Homo-oligomer: A and B are copies of this chain.
Amino acid sequence: MKQAGSPTPAVSHAARGPVGADHARAALIALDWGTTSLRAYLYDASGNVLATRASTAGIMNLPRNAEQGGFDAAFDDACGAWLEHAPGVPVIAAGMVGSAQGWLEAPYVDTPASAEALVAGIVRVEAACGVTLHIVPGVLQRGELPNVMRGEETQIFGALGEEASATNAANSTDSARRALIGLPGTHAKWAVVQAGRIERFHTFMTGEVFAALREHTILGRTMLTPDRPDTGAFLHGVNIAREKGQAGVLATIFSARTLGLTGQLSREQQPDYLSGLLIGHELAGLDAVLVQQQSALAGQSLRLIGNEALCERYRLALAQFGCVQAELVKHATERGLWRVASQAGLVKPAAQAARAG
């Protein structure tokens, strides 16, 4: 995704460095605060990222208990130096920090969820240092199989930001078109976005199930980590799930063991084969759901957000399902946080930084 010429504030990355002169230009601090990690971004008034901080102080991994000021301690550690040099800069945060186990609960916004609805759902918590954090809510899809996201909604609006603005300028019918966005990971999300709203989404526990199977079942016992990922074994797994997966993932995963017993899969091939099986089942399940909605993966043009190597695996797998247009969107998190902050009036793009309310 190119940034030049985009009406959305460009997000560029300065090298992470010590607090310096740049910070006089600081216009926003934004936090991507999840379960196991905290990432902080410092922006100038044009939305350029001046500096970043990353730590393992996720909400389940705070430096001390929440009751003993664990959130304050993690926040100070990540952003204290920035705030010292740029007092009064507005602060926004998204992710599990807004969950019931977070700093302050930001109740879910229902689907279909627009960026405006997210802004309206922002809650404010005052840190011990006197700074107000603006916490972005997650999104809830009600129903027999409810779905929730916290953090991904902000990434999705980050990925959409450029296009939404571009299509507004060029062709307004485009912005009404459905977009499919995938966020591979521990809990992979697939969201259908239409007219700038998250209409519905699905969660696949692919990453977490892979880890649990590998580390805590018999399948892991015969596995060895290969020197480099084995794409052939991965695609073999994808295609078994796609073509021979009728019995479901509870059945096909056993073949990671039996193909080893019969000498058809080496120990080093088994991890990638299992990964392929699970991602293949995820995509087959997604495809089945899309077909119910008069759509399909084949011929679909979609976007991926997340770890580049993992997204590349998904691109390979998607191609097996006839989907060859899967574009990796970079910096969706930073873009999304900036976009929500802008929409909330915390910053005025390409102008002087607004003061947080």
A217's contact among B145, B208, B219, B278, by CB below 8 Å, is which?
B208
Indicate which residue in B144, B250, B258, B289 contacts A209 across the interface (CB closer than 8 Å): B250
Is A248 touching B285 in the complex (CB atoms < 8 A)? yes
Task: List B contacts of A339 (CB < 8 A).
Answer: none
Query: A218's closest neighbor in chain B, by CB?
Result: B208
In the assembled complex, the Cα of A240 lies from the Cα of B240 at a distance in Å of: 25
Contact assessment for B147 and A248 in the assembled complex, using a CB-CB cutoff below 8 Å: no
**Are B240 and A144 neighbours in the complex by a CB distance under 8 Å?**
yes
B contact residues around A248 at 8 Å (CB): 204, 248-249, 281-282, 284-285, 288
Docked Cα-Cα span, A251 to B145, in Å, equals: 9
Minimum Cβ distance to chain B for residue A132 (Å): 27
Write out the residue numbers on chain B whose beta carbons fall within 8 Å of the beta carbon of A204.
247-248, 250-251, 254
Q: Which of B212, B246, B278, B285 contacts A285 (CB 8 A)?
A: B246
Interface: A126 (CB within 8 A): no
Q: Select A288's contact among B187, B247, B259, beta carbons within 8 Å.
A: B247
A168-187 interface code vs B (CB 8 A; 1 in, 0 out): 00000000000000000001
Whether the Cβ atoms of A145 and B240 lie closer than 8 Å is yes
Check A166 for interface membership: any CB of B closer than 8 A.
no
Taking residues whose C-beta sits less than 8 angstroms from the other chain, chain A's interface range is 35 or more
Once the chains bind, are A246 and B148 in contact (CB under 8 Å)? no
User: Is A2 engaged at the interface, CB distance under 8 Å to the other chain?
Assistant: no
The 8 A CB mask of A217-249 against B (1 = contact, 0 = none) is: 111000000000000000000001000101111
A186-221 to B contact mask, C-beta < 8 Å, 1/0? 010000000000000011111011011101111100
Which A residues from 279 to 294 make CB contacts under 8 A with B? Answer: 281-282, 284-286, 288-289, 292
A285:B247 contact, CB within 8 angstroms: yes
Contacting pair A282 B146 (CB below 8 A):
no
Q: Are B147 and A244 within 8 A (Cβ)?
A: no
| A interface residues, Cβ below 8 angstroms from B | 140, 142, 144-148, 187, 202-206, 208-209, 211-213, 215-219, 240, 244, 246-255, 258-259, 261-262, 264, 278, 281-282, 284-286, 288-289, 292
